[in-house]
Amino acid sequence: MSGGDRDSSALLHATDRSAGWHEAAFVARAVGGRWVREAAHAARAVRIDSREVEVGDAFVALRGERTDGHRFLMQVASAGGAFAVVEDGAACGDLDSLPPGFGVLVVDDGAAALGAWARAHRERLRGTAVVAVAGSAGKTTTVRLIDAALRPQRVGTHAPRSFNNHLGVAVTLLAARLEDGYVVCEVGTSEVGETAALAAIVRPDVAVITSLGREHLEGLGSMEGVAREAAAITRGMGERGTLVLPDAEPLLEGVPELREGAWRRVRFGATPAADVRVEAIEQSWDGVGAVIAGRRVQLPMVGAHNAHNAAAAIGVVRALGLDETLAADGLRSAGGAPMRLERVEIGGVRVLHDAYNAHPDSVRGALETLAAIEPAPGGRRVAILGEMLELGGSAPEEHAAIGAWIREHMACDALITLGKLPAMGVAGCGLGGAATALEAESRGRPSDAACVEAGALVRPGDVVLVKASRGIGLERVVRAIGERVGG
């Protein structure tokens, strides 16, 4: 559909590298469709956003809540697309007006066809190491770290951002060329059964569980449910596969299918028992360094937890039998994910832009990162926090506990909350007049005015953490800071 993630261009192998690998006959068989206009060329990448189509791409037209991809076939063809997959009966306009050679394949259901296509393509990736990354936090960053670790030794592709639902996983798999050495998929969930369904499509050779956290408790019910759902990533993995997992996570040890699985295991973490051990973590605004598996690694991103994510990446390298020294060097070039502890410098203010996701454990981790970064002389460590969504009945308790944690760990000098639930942490934070609760009677997404007010409380020299669940929209606070001090 039109209106997706522009960063999915990272999925595209350069258009001059080779001919397409999604041939018309293969695609028709895979999806059970019929050509009403024959395609003159095979396709390379597969897109679901018409604005992202480049020369040689296929386009799967989907009906969305806001728009209908079937309206954009001429745009796709004009951009050099190879063919489109459309739903039977959809209003596609005058097909005869499309350029010669542009194919149109008709199917019953576009989303189902995309999944079937991905499953069929996965069958062809016999020489490609397929990696799937699941877990409560750090998935997108870990995908990037795995890519950086593998890139010095193999050619491959990876999910560019949070392409972790049934559509994104399919698009990621379909971006893999038949000769690629690897493809790294991100597998997300918010309800029981979603991970298993995606694992059945990906069928990973290496499955990674990054961490467990109190996320999506509304849909998963409990931390035990979170663990069971994460463990479901192994259901698509054969006995010769490898599971890369945290070494000190008792909830995972309690999942029967993990105890009984025949796969090889590579454990990462800080304990002496870890196969890939993390030691001597140091962090500053410039990034985080650590000794990982005996090698000093410097990452161009903040957050001590990212040292553990890097260890997971080394675990994947070990699972594939590749050179870990080259992998450690490759990690230096890893790019951080936008809005995940993204470092933004604005007019003398250093902002940790972490407004993509939030649950109690990730908020504590972000506050630990804030505490580790020195502000400029006279500056403060400021935490601007919005609501953590999808916590179910535990939401009031969890928000209040953040305030108590701030007090216990002296994590910041000033606290600004937006919304009723985050305000529950103000009373116990121990910051007195340095704690400000905005819109303390409102649930959910704060007003634009409140975001501007929060930004106005920041001053040059401060280090500022901005964190909330994605639906809260706290990127507006970052913009407000820029408008206030960015000149």
Total count of domains within the chain: 3
Identify whether 20 is part of a domain: yes
- Do 206 and 238 lie in a common domain? yes
- Do 305 and 160 lie in a common domain? yes
- Do 390 and 369 lie in a common domain? yes
Identify whether 120 is part of a domain: no
- Do 360 and 389 lie in a common domain? yes
pLDDT tens, 125-144?
A: 999 999 999 998 889 999 99
Q: Is residue 396 over pLDDT 50?
A: yes
- Do 430 and 478 lie in a common domain? yes
- Do 302 and 348 lie in a common domain? no
pLDDT tens, 74-118?
A: 999 999 999 999 998 888 888 889 999 999 999 999 999 999 999
Residue after which a domain boundary falls, among 113, 136, 164: 113
48 band by pLDDT with thresholds 50, 70 and 90: very high
CATH number at residue 387: 3.90.190.20
Residue after which a domain boundary falls, among 113, 147, 176: 113
Identify whether 119 is part of a domain: no
Q: Is residue 467 over pLDDT 80?
A: yes
Identify whether 371 is part of a domain: yes
Per-residue three-class SS string for the chain = CCCCCHHHHHHCCCCCCCCCCECHHHHHHHHCCEEEECCCCCECCEECCHHHCCCCCEEECCECCCCEHHHHHHHHHHCCCCEEEEECCCCCCCHHHCCCCCEEEEECCHHHHHHHHHHHHHHHCCCCEEEEEECCCCHHHHHHHHHHHHCCCCCEEECCCCCCCHHHHHHHHHCCCCCCCEEEEECCCCCCCHHHHHHHHHCCCEEEECCCCCCCHHHHCCHHHHHHHHHHHHHHCCCCCEEEEECCCHHHHCCHHHHHCCCEEEEEECCCCCCEEEEEEEEECCEEEEEECCEEEEECCCCCHHHHHHHHHHHHHHHCCCCHHHHHHHHHHCCCCCCCCEEEEECCEEEEEECCCCCHHHHHHHHHHHHHCCCCCCCCEEEEECCCCCCHHHHHHHHHHHHHHHHHHCCCCEEEEECHHHHCCCCCCCCHHHEEEECCCCCCCCCHHHHHHHHHCCCCCCEEEEECCHHHCCHHHHHHHHHHHCC
CATH number at residue 16: 3.40.1390.10
Identify whether 1 is part of a domain: no
Identify whether 132 is part of a domain: yes
Identify whether 381 is part of a domain: yes
Tell me the residue range of the domain where 408 lies.
342-485
pLDDT tens, 308-339?
A: 999 999 999 999 999 999 999 999 999 888 89
3 band by pLDDT with thresholds 50, 70 and 90: very low
Q: What is the rounded average pLDDT of the residues 42-67?
A: 93
- Do 348 and 318 lie in a common domain? no
Identify whether 347 is part of a domain: yes
Residue after which a domain boundary falls, among 61, 84, 113: 113
